Each structure stands twice: as C-alpha cells, then as structure tokens.
Amino acid sequence: MFDTLALASLPPEDEALRPAIRELVARAVADMPVDRRARSWQGFDAAFSRRLGQAGFLGLNLPKRYGGQERGPFARFVVVEELLSAGAPVAGHWIADRQSAPLICNYGTEAQRAFYIPRICKGEALFCIGMSEPGSGSDLASVRTRAEKTATGWLLNGQKIWTTNSLHSDYMIALLRTSGKPEDRHAGLSQLIVDLRLPGVTIRPIVDLTGDAHFAEVFFENVELADDALIGREGEGWKQVTAELAFERSGPERIYSSVVLLDAWVRHLRETGRADDATLAMVGGFTARLATLRAMSIACTARLALGESPVVEASLVKDLGTHFEQELPVAIGDDLAGHPDEPASTELYRTLLYVTQVAPSFSLRGGTREILRGIIARGLGLR
C-alpha cells in the first residue's frame, strides 16, 4: 500500500497562492483570541467566507464556467493549510466548498451545477451533510430516513443527527433510502438536496460540553422535494458517498485541528525560556510527526490530482492524523502540569481546555477509527 504514497511536492504555481491567502487570513484573525482560533472548523463567519469567494479562494478545483478557478487539488491544499494553521473561521463555506460542490459537479445535472456551484464559489450558498442517524452512527449503510417517489418528486420523512452547521446552512445533501430496506445495506441509497427552509424541516441544536452548538438534529416530516432534488442516479448514493469521503479524509484538515494549541504552547516555551533537552525533544517529536503527516497528505493529494480515488490511503492519513491531533492536548496538558511554577497565560489554558474537550470528536467526524481501520485492513488484504 505504501507504494502508492509516493513523495510529491506542491507545484510552484500553487505555492504562489500562499502570500495572498496568508495576508487575507492574517487580517481576519488579527484580533481573535487563541481559543477562538482553535475553533477553526467550527468558527462560523459568513462575511469571511464571502471575502474568500470574492478573492477567488473558493471553488479552486471547479470549472470556470460555474465560477470556479479550474485549478488542481494542490491549490486547494495550499489554501486549506493556510486557513487551518492560522485558525481562520471556515465553518461557513467549509462543507459546500470541500464536498458539496465537487459532488454536484461530478454527479449533478447541468441545471443543478448552474444553480448551486456559482453561489458556492461566491460563499453565498451554505451546505451541510446529512449522513448520520440515531442508531446508525458511522454505519451509514443502515440509514432508515426515506424519500418516497411521488408523482411530482419525493416525500421525505425521518431524522438526521450530528449534522455539522445545519443551523446556519441553506441546504443539506442527505443520504436517504429511496428503495429497499435497511437490511439491503448499500443498495437503494440515494443523495438528495434538501432546502432547509422547506415546510416540515425542524432543526434543533445540540450543545456540546464546551457550550458550543455546531451540531444539530434535523427532523423531516412530510417534506416535499422536487423531482430534480436527486443527485446522480437513484440507488447509487453509496458509491457517491464513499468517493466523497475519500476526498474529505485525505486533506490537510486531518492534521491541523490542534495546531493552534501547539503554536501557543511553543510561544509559551519561548516566553519562559524553557529549552531543556526533554522539552526540545518533545517539540522536535511533534514537528517531525506533523511534517510526516503533511507529506502523506500531499502524496494523497497527488493521487487526487491524477484523478484517482485513494480511499485506503486517505483512511490511513486520517487515522494517523487524528491520533496526532488527540495526543497533542494530552501531552501539552501534562507538560504544563509538570511545571506548576511556570507562569502561563489564561489564553493558553483556555485553548488547552477547549481542545482537550473537543479532541474525542476528532476520531469520530468523517468516519470512526474502527471504520477506518476496517478499510485499511481490507486494503492490506487482512480481512
């Protein structure tokens, strides 16, 4: 499997994007406390998303005829890396730009492409993804929420849960059962676009232990969808979703969730002047692992650039990446506790507390560790 993860470099023309996006991000986070920047994935700022769209940093991989930039996956890697490493608020456009627009571009009708993608590229159409359900979790193939075919379109009933940012979104791309039974597993699943303002849609926030509410439950009661809500072919939703998840799992977003905390801790070490061998070894170890994970993520991006779908490799990057992200707050917390006489800022402590509280979710979102390791095992021929 590792033969398919060959070292690759970011092309110079894509690296050339870095100064402009770095400047835009620096202005956005200039007055933002570190613990807010640590919320990057959950940081909602619609105005910032629109500024990114106006500057041409959304829809980087999408065709120009739909408002995109028609560049390769490496361009998006550079932009995402700059956004997350600085802790920019990306929640507004995140899912629409990363998953919804590519999905619509690949499987949607020409009318769907023309209607949705230009607005996504401008940061003006916000999407969430409806996959998980009560009782299903990461076992997506067991979803029960149904869309029944009617004379004019589809009738939707059921419930989704853990839908990130649905409270702020305009649309959901939902994985639904359109034929057969849950026991049929992968057969009979389809993806449909749901306008979240339609009658019969109810969204209830889920407040997490940090006090934030970026997750929600979404209920559908006799929601009438038009015939053209279907993306792709009826019954082929599973194939479409697995390709979508491969794109989600392979990127730099699976490495940088805790990096704002790492930066804050390194600044603390500089300010206190602590540079003993044990501390330097700890900083060096984290840096080396981050560099290795970044190289693996770039290798996956290179395969995406070739038009391939590196499902197994992407699962490996996500599993190792989230392990790194979860280990950081534990190690930094232990380090600060081991130096009780060392002055540390309240901002650093707030950031540590937030990342520690949310870290368990890192190995849940986008596929649990158990699911990913099952994919890796099959890729290695072990099951």
Count Cβ atoms below 10 Å from residue 184 Cβ, excluding itself.
14
Q: What gap in Å lies between CA 41 and CA 20, rounded to an integer?
A: 21
Catalytic residue among 133, 244, 248, 253: 248
The secondary structure of 104-129, three-state, reads HHHHCCHHHHHHHHHHHHCCCCCEEE
Distance of CA 311 to the CA centre of its chain: 16
How do beta strands 201-206 and 215-226 pair?
Answer: antiparallel
Beta-strand ranges (E) seen in the chain are 127-130, 146-149, 153-160, 171-177, 189-195, 201-206, 215-226, 230-231
Q: What gap in Å lies between CA 280 and CA 319, rounded to an integer?
A: 26
Give how far Cα 221 sits from Cα of 129, 137, 199, 228, Å: 18, 21, 8, 19
* Joined tokens for residue 169: 């979104």
Active site residue 224: no
The residues annotated as belonging to the active site are 248
